[in-house]
Structures are given as C-alpha cells and as structure tokens.
Structure 1
Amino acid sequence: MTTDTLTLPAAEVDEAGTLRFASQADAEQSLTLGAFNVAVPDGLDVSAGLAFCRSFYEPATGHPGERHRGHREHGHAASKLGYEDRPDQVEQLQLESFLWQEYLPDDVTAVLRWMRQLTLDVLYGVFDTAGVPEGDRDLITGGARQDTGLCYTTVNHYRAGLSDRAGIVEHSDSGFITTICTDKPGYEILHEGRWLPVRERPGHFTVNLGDAFRVLTRKLPRPVTAVYHRVPELRPDAGTPDRSSFTVYMGPRYDMSLYQYDTGGRLREYQSFRDFSVEKAGKLGYAFHSRV
C-alpha cells in the first residue's frame, strides 16, 4: 500500500475449491476492506467475455442466431433485469444465470459458468473467515449451492464519449459478492475517508463484498465491510476501445429477506431484500428494475 494507491489482499481457490489467502492477516484485511483479488484459474480464458462487452450494444446484424450484438434493443423478455442505460457513463446488460445459455454466445456462457463456480467457492470461503455457521448458509443465500439464490452477470460498456458523468457512480453492491473482470484501470475504493485507485494485479479478478454481508455480520465479532467503490469519469483515448468489464454477482433473491445475527449469534430476519434494493436505488438516483 502506498499513499496514493491501494493494493488489495490476494487469494486463490485451490483444486478442492477452498479459498486460500497468504496469511490470516490478509484474510481479515479482506473483510475490513470489503474487497480483495482472487487468481484467475489456470485454463480460464476471459477474452470471450471482454469481446462480448465490446459488441453487445452494437446494432444486430440480422443473421439468424446472432447473440453477440443487438442487446440494446432486444428486450430479453424472460429476464427481470436486461439492458439498462444508466445515468453515469455505463450502459449494461444484466442477465440471470439460468438465462445465459438462451441469450448469450456459447463461449461467453462457458466463461461465466466457470466464474460462477469460482464466485461460489469464494463466497463460502468468506463465510468461513467471517464465522458464519455452515448450517445457516442455504437459508441466508436462498440456496446458492443449489443455484436457487440470485446469480447474474453484469456486462458493462463505459461510454467515454459521454462527458461530465462519473464512469460508474459511487456505490456499494447490494448482494453478498461480485467477481469482476475488467480490461483497464479505473476502479477506486473509499478507504479511510479518501478515494484511492486500486493497483491492478495481473491474472486476478477483483472481488467486492456487498450490503447483504454487511447487514448479516454487523453485530458479529468479525463484521464484513460492504466496499464503497466507483469508477471516475473516463476520457476518450484515441485508438483504444472504451473500458469494458463483466461480473458474476450472487445475493439473496428479491422475494427473500436479508438476515442479520444479533449480538448473541442468533439469526433474525432484517428486511425484505427487494425493499432494501428499491430504497438503495432511489438514493443512488436510478430506477429499480421495473420487472422485479
């Protein structure tokens, strides 16, 4: 860590699916920051995902079976999320995991499925570090292991040509965990009252821990921070594509409650996750998904 950049703790997931940090101190720092890096698994090529980020918003070609382009106008009727033109520089496509095969190219779906398994392993590793009992995890996640919780991808195109806007507005994520793959720097964290750029770590994803973790663990001995982060305004760079990123997110379903442990370690219902999400969207200045 330096005075003007932040280096996140780094971890990896071993062949048994266990999240491993270099030290216990690094594991605990990841809870305090609410963010860390996790190594990209050997054999996972993310280039198909990044290529999709650079094409999903382009007009459709009209070719039968085309899934790389045309998503701005598509509609994605089976999804409660879909395409969104945000008030910052980002336009994004969000699709639930059970719809990836239906709407996305096969090579992109393959990358996301690999990232989904990695994200699940990391989530359960953070539960271990935070001291969340194993027997409670299916309830609080809505069945993440069984893929009955909420899991989706967010595909982001940062439109650098839109000036006087944040790249992406400062916020915390609402769910438990988001695994991020990006092709350019720009990610910043609010740390000890200062916005600090995060130093890129080649060969690693960035992991954000979110509000569902913060609410759940706030009264436990090792509470988890929901990292407050942003991307500042990006400027056009001649000859290079706009910034791209894609993620895998996991959280409670919108028809569930958020849960919280009390000071005696008893699990209690806290608030409807949908109500929590609607209130938060309003504070950030954008409309909540109308189909949820």
Structure 2
Amino acid sequence: MTTHVVEEETHLTLPAAAVEAGRLRFASAGDADQALRLGAFNLAVPEDLDVTAGLAFCRSFYKPATDDHDRHHGHREHGHPDSKLGYEDRPDQVEQLQLESFLWQRYLPGEVTATLRRMRELTLDTLYGVFDAIGIPEEDRELVTGGAREDKGLCYTTVNHYRAGLSDRAGIVEHSDSGFITTICTDQPGYEILHEGRWLPVRERAGHFTVNLGDAFRVLTRKLPRPATAVYHRVPELRPDAGAPDRSSFTIYMGPRYDMSLYQYDTEGELREFQGFREFSVEKAGKLGYEFHSRI
C-alpha cells in the first residue's frame, strides 16, 4: 500500500476524496483505509461552493458592530441568547463563535448562512460515505447520529480567529473532536496530526477541505473489524507576520446531541448504548483543562 508520509517524514499528505452525486469517493480502497486509520482526509471543494464569504466573516465577527443590524461584526458582545454555545475566548490563541445550524439564519449574514448550508450538505454526504466505508448498517445510522439526515442531531459551525499577537500559547490545544465529523476550511497552514508518536504538519492541498473524524466514530467502531480513528490534532503557536492577516478557519461539526447516548458495537456486531454524550463531553473537557459549555 502506498504510504502518504512524504518529504522525509517531515510532513503528512492526507488521502483525498470527493463527493460525486451524493456519494463519497476515494481514489482507491487503500486511500479509504488510510483515511480511517489516520482519522483525517482531504475533501474536494465542489465547484458550486464558494468559501469567500465564510473566510471574510472569520476576519470580521470579533470586531465592534457598526449598528444594531450589523451581523458581520459585534459577536464578542452579542450574547447569542438562543444558542447553547455562542462566543468563547479560549485560553489558547483562538477566539471562536459556535452556532447551531438552526440559528445560522437568525444570527449570521445571509451569504454566510448560504455557504454553511451548502457545507452542511457536503458534510452529511461525507459522514454517510464514511459509514459506507466502515460498513455501518443503514438502519442504525439515524439512531447513532440522533437524526442527522433530518438535521435533528447536533450540527454547528465553529468560526475561528487565531490571535497571533498572543504569545506563549498554543494556536489551538491538542485534542480530538468529540462528534462524528468536522469539515474544516482554513486560509493558512498550521494544522498538525499526531502520527506514530510524532507531531507532523499536514501539507495543504489546494481546493480541498480537511475532514476530521472524532470520538463518536472511535467509540462506535472500536470493536469492529474496520474501526475509525479519532484524529489527535493541534495548531502550534502562531507568530505575527507583518502584513499578513491572522489565521482564519471555519467548520461544520456533526455529532450526537448532548441529551442522547454514544453507541458502540460489541464484538458480535450488536449495537449498545455506551455513555451519555453530555457526560462524555464534560469528562473530556475536564481532562483538557476547559470548562464545559455552561448553557448545556
């Protein structure tokens, strides 16, 4: 099988996939296997998806609002009362805005909402494509996701501004994502994966998103013949670069709801409840040194 570790193992090139007619396609079965082992892969950006509005919003959401109707700015102070997530000033370099999919139209500019909805469709097709690759029965998929097809599971965007002027902090702390899948759009390198005991920068692939598989997949498939890895990743401390903007990224996250259970297949292939997702998430936040979202 062809390895994807290149440049004398100083960088990692992820396997690439694309969604075609609603189906996730890898170049080969070996690429699909590699994606499951790494817990990450690149996903081609469709021709009908323009990410410009999303990246522009990353560079504006934290700045002061110009008036009460300004949805491009002012999100540090807004409060987002209908969201259980909202704005967070993290202890690393990132400040971020997290909003559930049913609130995008209420709080975000129209062009940003349109971009996120198209990315949600792409992420959903990708999620079910990974289910296909692992061999998850179709009749189990809505149960374990909490109803992802009908947007009843947990789906939100995370909008990130990396504040390079804050020194002696990680860009974003090393972690795995808690849900099933995260699709990431970013404007600069910096993403690293813990691979075979070493942190390796991931080589950027033009015209592609990065897809992370998370803890919900790891728990669900751990005892199956073809399990998925929850990729452990980070962004190291970023330094100010005169004339260059701060790093920006935004994502689509999909996972179980906090009021439901994580599920796991046993060694006989029977699906069983594993642990409440909120309990799992609170324990994980504590291990990472974060307070869990107070509204959840």
Q: TM-score range by the shorter chain?
A: over 0.9
| Cα deviation, residue 280, structure 1 | 0.5
Q: 1:173 aligns with which of 163, 170, 177?
A: 177
| Cα deviation, residue 286, structure 1 | 1.0
State the SS of the aligned residue for 2:12: coil
Matches within 5 A, 1:8-87: 8-14=14-20, 16-62=21-67, 64-87=68-91
Whole-Å Cα distance in 2 between the matches of residues 113 and 192 of structure 1? 36
Task: Give ranges in structure 1 of 5+ residues lacking alignment.
Answer: none
One-letter amino acid matched to 2:83: S
| Cα deviation, residue 111, structure 1 | 0.4
| Cα deviation, residue 43, structure 1 | 2.0
| Cα deviation, residue 285, structure 1 | 0.8
Residue 95 in structure 1 maps to residue 105 in structure 2: no
Residue 201 in structure 1 maps to residue 205 in structure 2: yes
Report the TM-score, using the length of structure 2 for normalisation.
0.97
Whole-Å Cα distance in 1 between the matches of residues 25 and 137 of structure 2? 18
Percentage of matched positions with identical amino acids: 82
Matched residue, 1:243: 247
Whole-Å Cα distance in 1 between the matches of residues 69 and 47 of structure 2? 31
Report the TM-score, using the length of structure 1 for normalisation.
0.99
Whole-Å Cα distance in 1 between the matches of residues 182 and 270 of structure 2? 26
State the SS of the aligned residue for 1:135: helix
| Cα deviation, residue 101, structure 1 | 0.2
CA RMSD after TM alignment: 0.5
Moved over 2 A (4+): none
Cα offsets for 1:246-290 (capped at 9, x unmatched)? 000000000000000000000000000000000101111111000
- Paired residues in the alignment total 290
Task: Give ranges in structure 2 of 5+ residues lacking alignment.
Answer: none
Matched residue, 2:233: 229
| Cα deviation, residue 241, structure 1 | 0.7
State the SS of the aligned residue for 1:241: coil
Residue 125 in structure 1 maps to residue 129 in structure 2: yes
Whole-Å Cα distance in 2 between the matches of residues 174 and 182 of structure 1? 20
One-letter amino acid matched to 1:287: E
Whole-Å Cα distance in 2 between the matches of residues 173 and 205 of structure 1? 16
Cα offsets for 1:215-258 (capped at 9, x unmatched)? 00000000100000000000000011100000000000000000
